[in-house]
């Protein structure tokens, strides 16, 4: 069995700060991590490998520094890693990204047929959740998003049954491989990297592909040219015209503050008082 | 939210002219999502927003209703008119009984190719995101996810879709100039629910889907409905008490629950709190969690980063408690208290308890 896991290196968004004066992002010192949502998919792929044997290939598109994210995945237990990197990809939106990744997966297929492709349900930097479905459509894979559980996999019959999170419930879906799966967060826990895997990850000769190696001939499908969406402006959110009315008391005593707040709140919003009084019985 | 510092556009703003073949794309569409006989309210919220876009463009607003024969598609259409649709496209076919990516993608893609809308909006639900990503890739057009604001650029009549970016610290406006339809998803509760006008009606355009069950590889074996009673329902809560990293540890976080109990409120949290496992995922408020619009939102130990802000700023009244006087939350809260949450929270809980006791006696 061969599983490809698509991952992305992202800035740890919890640590991004906006400069208070210039309103620009302060990228310096923000650590790059593997998109946390991707790890649930990687762990699920590794579990399938533990059970059925086979190979797990991790794939990413990004700048050369994304190598670190792939090595991290190798340390967790992935077997192979492919970095697709080329200046021609700069400015790719989700449509162009799915084109490039789909093309790279076709090249990976040349080596060994792919049964399953995993992707994160979304990234923490783009938050679009579009690349997974995009790859599935381009490669004509069955699409299984927001999977909470892989119920069964029959490699002989090429059948897979999963639980999929839907609005208001869970769908139990049965389909054929090859399929593309995005895992729901929190459904498994990433294993610890083992010593031998860490050593292997450090020494592993990464496959680094430019657009040609990734099988991309049509450059109008990638980068800015291949991206229908255009960012027309980037801006910092502004304060409302009116800032918060600050509750202060001379004593600074929490009880005084609380009572001052309540008085102000219920005088200015009498409806709220009724609403709370009604419900909190 | 408004722009303060506009940065130069990434691509040159030369005079834009739409490809004549694409100029034929007319009208604003909203995908009407329904499950088990109920339309998801995000669809009505989108019709409210779609109405404004359609009026600005001087075009019609349409609902797209897909389902199995015998489902209440006509009732959904009647409701759609009341929320602002001029017409509905209806596709009825047995293969559309349950949501499946293959059948719904084909159905919606066919419909778009036949009737050519210029704008297509979907709810950013699990269904909407699955479908939107697939349809946009099949049509090779642009899709902007999780928009917090939609507008028409008066210069070129294109859809200007604004969404948080860079992990939510900034906002960006995205346009899809030379591709149609322009697609966008919006999360539930981000847009206000439009008023229902019972006098409105509209017309139906039926469309056939040429697909048979054996064409579809994926089968739905079962649907296990959620037990709604034991899941927190933040998006529709009227009062929410939420805690952030400033609560420092899970023990302190119990103070949030105490206040919520007195108010009969739901408990919310920021992403770091959920990631630390102090509360369950369903309670996460923000760009990667739930969007809420309660009458009262009490934010404790929450700095108010845009990631969180976009999920709760439509609250009617916001009370913020934070020890940092410069925390961004004070820029958009209604009332602010600078101080130690661990001492203010118990005092606030007690003050509410006493006050509500007197209110109740009075009633």
Model pLDDT for residues B208-263, shown as the tens digit of each residue: 999 999 999 999 999 999 877 677 889 889 999 999 999 999 999 999 999 999 99
Q: Which residues, 6+ apart, have CB-to-CB distance to A242 below 8 Å?
A: none
Q: Which residue is it, tokens 């459509």?
A: A137
What does the pLDDT read at residue B209? 95
A159 and A197 share one domain: yes
Is the alpha carbon torsion for B77, B78, B84, B86 positive or negative?
positive
Closest alpha carbon to B321 in B261, B266, B241: B241
- The rounded distance, in Å, linking the Cα atoms of B3 and B151 is 14
A245 and A217 share one domain: no
CATH code for position A116: 3.40.50.620
Q: What b-and-e string marks burial along B223-257, b requiring 16 or more CB atoms within 10 Å of the CB?
A: beeeeeeeebebbebbbbbbbbbbbeeeebbebbe
Average pLDDT, chain B: 91
- The rounded distance, in Å, linking the Cα atoms of A155 and A1 is 8
B357 touches A: beta carbon within 8 Å: no
Q: Which residues, 6+ apart, have CB-to-CB distance to B74 below 8 Å?
A: B90, B204
Decide which of A160 and B307 is more confident: A160
**ipTM score:** 0.88
Pick B170's closest partner by Cβ from A131, A234, A281.
Answer: A234
| A230 inside domain | no
What does the pLDDT read at residue A135? 98
Contacts A–B by Cβ distance under 8 A: 313
**What secondary structure letter does DSSP report for A134?**
H
What does the pLDDT read at residue B6? 44
A244 and A210 share one domain: no
- The rounded distance, in Å, linking the Cα atoms of B94 and B90 is 13
Strand, coil or helix: what is A230?
strand
Strand, coil or helix: what is A126?
coil
pLDDT level of residue B14 (50, 70, 90 thresholds): low
- The rounded distance, in Å, linking the Cα atoms of B256 and A243 is 24
**Residue-range definition of the domain harbouring residue A32:** 2-221
Closest alpha carbon to A26 in A40, A16, A12: A16
Pick B335's closest partner by Cβ from A133, A134, A247.
Answer: A247
B228 contacts in chain A (CB < 8 Å)? 168
DSSP string across A8-77: -EEE-GGG-EE-TTT--EE-TTPPEEE-HHHHHHHHHHHHHHHHH--EEEEEEES-GGGHHHHHHHHHHT
A280 and A178 share one domain: no
| A36 inside domain | yes
Pick A257's closest partner by Cβ from B146, B174, B344.
Answer: B344
Q: Which residue is it, tokens 């694409």?
A: B22
- The rounded distance, in Å, linking the Cα atoms of B120 and B161 is 12
What does the pLDDT read at residue B4? 42
Decide which of B11 and A56 is more confident: A56
Average pLDDT per 10 consecutive residues for chain A, totaling 281 residues:
97 68 64 94 98 97 96 98 96 95 97 97 87 97 98 97 93 98 94 97 97 96 94 77 83 91 92 82 53
* Number of independent structural domains in chain A: 2
B115 touches A: beta carbon within 8 Å: no
- The rounded distance, in Å, linking the Cα atoms of B183 and B144 is 6
Q: Which two tokens stand for residue B263?
A: 């108010």
B262 to chain A: nearest residue by CA? A280
B184 and B257 share one domain: no
* Number of independent structural domains in chain B: 2
Q: Judge contact between B29 and B66, C-beta under 8 A.
A: no
Q: Which residue is it, tokens 């969690």?
A: B289
What does the pLDDT read at residue A18? 61
B316 and B211 share one domain: no
| A232 inside domain | no
A258 and A167 share one domain: no
Q: For B19, how many CA atoms within 13 A lie in the half-sphere containing its CB?
A: 10
| B126 inside domain | yes
A183 and A210 share one domain: yes
Closest alpha carbon to B205 in B334, B81, B65, B104: B65
Domain termination site, one of B215, B249, B269? B215
B73 and B193 share one domain: yes
Decide which of B10 and B148 is more confident: B148
**Residue-range definition of the domain harbouring residue B96:** 20-215
Q: Judge contact between A28 and A52, C-beta under 8 A.
A: no
Residue to substitute from A244, A246, A271, interface B, most B β-carbons within 10 A = A244
B233 and B84 share one domain: no
Read off the pLDDT of residues B273-305 as tens digits, 9 standing for 90 and up.
998 999 998 899 998 889 999 999 999 999 998
Q: Is the bond preceding residue A149 a cis peptide, omega within 30 degrees?
A: no
A258 touches B: beta carbon within 8 Å: yes
**What secondary structure letter does DSSP report for A6?**
E
How far apart are the CA of B199 and the nearest CA of chain A, in angstroms? 30
Q: Which residues, 6+ apart, have CB-to-CB distance to B52 below 8 Å?
A: none
- The rounded distance, in Å, linking the Cα atoms of A151 and A154 is 10
User: Length of chain A in residues, anyone?
Assistant: 281
List residues bridging with A242 in a β-sheet.
none
Q: How large a percentage of chain B has pLDDT more than 70? A: 94
B288 and B186 share one domain: no
Q: Do β-strands A17-18 and A25-26 pair in parallel, antiparallel, or remain unpaired?
A: antiparallel
B316 contacts in chain A (CB < 8 Å)? 269, 272
Read off the pLDDT of residues B202-223 as tens digits, 9 standing for 90 and up.
999 999 999 999 999 999 999 9
- The rounded distance, in Å, linking the Cα atoms of A208 and A67 is 9
CA-CA-CA-CA dihedral for A188, A192, A197, A202, to nearest 10 = 110
What does the pLDDT read at residue A14? 64
- The rounded distance, in Å, linking the Cα atoms of A10 and A32 is 5
Q: Do β-strands B119-123 and B28-32 pair in parallel, antiparallel, or remain unpaired?
A: parallel
A88 and A146 share one domain: yes
Domain termination site, one of A194, A221, A248? A221
CATH code for position B237: 3.40.50.1220
- The rounded distance, in Å, linking the Cα atoms of B319 and B337 is 8
Closest alpha carbon to A177 in A142, A211, A208: A142
B142 and B86 share one domain: yes
Question: Which residues numbered 13-72 in B keep a CB inside 8 Å of some CB on A?
Answer: 13, 33, 35-36, 40
A82 and A119 share one domain: yes
B359 contacts in chain A (CB < 8 Å)? 273, 276-277
Mean pLDDT lowest among A68-72, B4-8, B42-46, B199-203: B4-8
| B122 inside domain | yes
Closest alpha carbon to A117 in A194, A174, A48: A48
Q: How large a percentage of chain B has pLDDT more than 90? A: 77
Pick A276's closest partner by Cβ from B164, B346, B356.
Answer: B356
In this structure, the number of other CB atoms found within 10 A of the CB of residue B34 comes to: 21
How far apart are the CA of A259 and the nearest CA of chain B, in angstroms? 6
């Amino acid at each position: 069995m061969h599983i490809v896991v698509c991952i992305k290196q992202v800035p740890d968004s919890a640590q991004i700060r906006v400069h208070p004066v210039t309103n620009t992002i302060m990228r310096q010192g923000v650590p790059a991590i593997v998109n946390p949502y991707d790890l649930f998919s990687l762990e699920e792929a590794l579990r399938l490998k533990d059970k059925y044997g086979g190979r797990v290939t991790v794939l990413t598109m990004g700048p050369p520094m994304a190598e670190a994210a792939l090595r991290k995945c190798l340390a967790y237990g992935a077997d192979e890693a492919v970095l697709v990197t080329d200046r021609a990809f700069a400015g790719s939106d989700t449509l162009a990204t799915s084109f490039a990744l789909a093309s790279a997966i076709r090249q990976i297929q040349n080596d060994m047929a792919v049964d399953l492709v995993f992707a994160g349900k979304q990234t923490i930097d783009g938050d679009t959740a579009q690349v997974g479905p995009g790859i599935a459509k381009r490669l004509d894979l069955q699409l299984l998003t927001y999977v909470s559980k892989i119920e069964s996999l029959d490699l002989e019959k090429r059948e897979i049954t999963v639980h999929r999170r839907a609005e208001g419930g869970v769908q139990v879906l049965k389909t054929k491989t090859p399929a593309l799966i995005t895992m729901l967060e929190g459904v498994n826990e990433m294993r610890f990297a083992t010593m031998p895997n860490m050593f292997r990850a450090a020494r592993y000769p990464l496959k680094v592909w430019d657009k040609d190696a990734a099988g991309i001939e049509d450059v109008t499908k990638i980068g800015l040219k291949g991206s229908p969406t255009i960012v027309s402006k980037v801006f910092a959110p502004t304060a409302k015209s009116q800032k918060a009315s600050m509750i202060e008391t001379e004593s600074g005593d929490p009880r005084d503050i609380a009572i001052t707040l309540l008085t102000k709140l219920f005088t200015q919003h009498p409806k709220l008082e009724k609403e709370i009084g009604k419900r909190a019985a | 939210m408004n722009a303060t510092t506009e940065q130069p556009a990434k691509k040159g703003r030369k005079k834009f002219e739409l490809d004549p073949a694409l100029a034929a794309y007319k009208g604003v569409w909203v995908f009407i999502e329904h499950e088990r006989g109920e339309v998801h309210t995000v669809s009505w919220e989108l019709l409210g927003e779609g109405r404004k876009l359609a009026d600005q463009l001087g075009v019609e607003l349409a609902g797209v209703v897909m389902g199995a024969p015998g489902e209440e598609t006509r009732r959904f259409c009647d409701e759609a008119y009341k929320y602002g649709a001029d017409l509905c496209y209806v596709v009825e076919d047995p293969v559309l009984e349950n949501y499946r990516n293959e059948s719904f993608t084909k159905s919606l893609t066919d419909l778009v190719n036949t009737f050519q809308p210029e704008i297509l909006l979907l709810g950013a639900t699990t269904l909407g995101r699955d479908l939107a990503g697939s349809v946009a890739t099949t049509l090779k057009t642009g899709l902007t996810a999780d928009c917090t604001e939609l507008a028409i650029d008066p210069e070129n009549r294109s859809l200007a879709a604004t969404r948080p970016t860079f992990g939510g610290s900034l906002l960006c406006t995205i346009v899809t100039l030379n591709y149609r339809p322009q697609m966008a998803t919006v999360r539930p509760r981000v847009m206000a629910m439009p008023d229902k006008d019972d006098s409105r009606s509209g017309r139906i355009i039926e469309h056939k889907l040429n697909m048979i069950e054996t064409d579809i590889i994926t089968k739905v074996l079962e649907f296990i409905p959620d037990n709604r009673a034991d899941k927190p329902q933040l998006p529709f809560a009227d009062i929410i008490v939420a805690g952030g990293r400033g609560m420092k540890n899970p023990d302190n976080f119990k103070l949030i629950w105490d206040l919520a109990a007195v108010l009969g409120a739901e408990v919310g949290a920021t992403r770091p709190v959920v990631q630390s496992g102090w509360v369950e995922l369903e309670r996460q408020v923000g760009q990667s969690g739930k969007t809420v619009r309660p009458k009262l939102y009490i934010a404790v130990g929450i700095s108010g980063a845009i990631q969180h802000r976009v999920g709760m700023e439509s609250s009617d009244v916001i009370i913020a408690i934070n020890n940092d006087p410069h925390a961004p939350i004070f820029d958009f809260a209604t009332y602010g208290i600078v101080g130690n949450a661990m001492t203010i929270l118990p005092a606030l809980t007690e003050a509410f308890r006493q006050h509500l006791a007197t209110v109740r006696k009075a009633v």
